[in-house]
Amino acid sequence: MVLCAAVILFSVGSFIAVKTLHDRNFQRSDRPQFSAYLRYEDVPEYNRKIVQFKSGKNTLTGYIYGEGTEKGLIVLAHGLGAGAESYLPQIIYFLDKGWAVFTYDSTGNHASEGKSMVGLAQSLLDLDAALTYVKGHDNLNHLPVMLFGHSWGGYAVASVLNYGHPVTAVASVAGYNSPMEILFEQAKDIMGPFAHVTYPFMWLYQNMLFGKTALAKAVDGINKTAVPVMIIHGDADNVISYTGAATIAHRNEITNPNVVYKTCSKEGHNGHSNLFFSEATMRYRAEKNQEYKELDERYGGDIPDNIKAAYYEGIDRFRSSELDSEFMDEINEFFERALETYD
């Protein structure tokens, strides 16, 4: 009886600990008051239409750019806690290449509803809802659809292929193969070998949150179709390990013959988010980060709002958001080739 009581107590305590830690990491992410990166008000010449659609019980806010363009539609899925606006440089890039773009704030992010971001499988559910919205939109549903996603979104754009939406090509940047894999990878970083003990409780909580969606894998979606897929990952990614939970780490399981892989290994452009940006931007960001660090030290970690506002006002948001054109051109050329075979 004592042993059973101890097991029950340990199990309940472990589940509560797993749930508490998980929920703390997926709290709601609102649009920040200050930004070092491009905001829509910086580029009003790029017209957009704001729309809304449902994902589960929550109403999500979406953004249509370039409506009326007939070349094709890029559907962009953002990273965890970022919001669609965080990928405005990429949106502008695709618009300048002649594409229409549809993007959205995922559950619990920026202008969309949701008390929290829920978890790692939520990006898949939200993208499924977004593509369902596209199907019902008369100005979009006749266009060939290209999916582009990063991190949380990188997982979504590959795993959503399990759902049978009409998709012409996919570019998955720094994505993970499955929610459980990346959760376990991060748990090992925090708890070491004890993560193995907590795994059943992580699995249980994910299934309580998402049901069978918690088990959806990017590789399964990729293999379910012959859709061309470009999988991109940095070999020094410290968020999603290149040799661990990353989709690219499962290349030996991928049977889709139309998959191409891009490993980013150039120092300074082989991490999780720096893949996109030019060397000039990375140098500029480093300078501005150093300035902020000095301000933070000067004010003992509590920078007054007026000083903080002045700091952000002094940032050239175009310089801080310049893309690596060679990197983006590879993705665009991949989409262009897929478009040539679109029927």
Return the C-alpha torsion angle 324, 327, 330, 331, nearest 10: -90
pTM for this entry: 0.94
pLDDT of 28-84, one tens digit each? Answer: 999 998 888 999 999 999 999 999 999 999 999 999 999 999 999 999 999 999 999
Using alpha carbons, select from 151, 138, 143 the residue that is nearest to residue 169: 143
Asked whether residue 339 carries a pLDDT value surpassing 70, the answer given is yes
Query: First vs last Cα of the chain: how many Å apart?
Result: 67
CA gap 223, 185 in Å, rounded = 24
Using alpha carbons, select from 189, 212, 209 the residue that is nearest to residue 201: 209
C-beta of residue 121 within 8 angstroms of C-beta of residue 209: yes
pLDDT of 175-189, one tens digit each? Answer: 999 999 999 898 888
% the chain with pLDDT above 90:
83
% the chain with pLDDT above 70:
97
Considering only residues 17 and 83, tell me which one the structure prediction assigns the higher pLDDT: 83
Asked whether residue 4 carries a pLDDT value surpassing 80, the answer given is no
Placement of tokens 């994910």 in the chain: 206
CA gap 103, 88 in Å, rounded = 10
Residues in the chain: 343
Using alpha carbons, select from 145, 146, 149, 126 the residue that is nearest to residue 135: 145
Helices (H), the chain: 2-25, 88-96, 122-135, 152-159, 179-191, 195-210, 218-224, 279-298, 305-313, 325-340
> Domain 35-277+324-340 has what CATH class?
alpha beta
pLDDT band at 294 (very low <50, low <70, confident <90, very high): very high
pLDDT band at 343 (very low <50, low <70, confident <90, very high): low
Using alpha carbons, select from 152, 156, 160 the residue that is nearest to residue 183: 152
C-beta of residue 166 within 8 angstroms of C-beta of residue 145: yes
pLDDT band at 235 (very low <50, low <70, confident <90, very high): very high
Model pLDDT, residue 10? 59
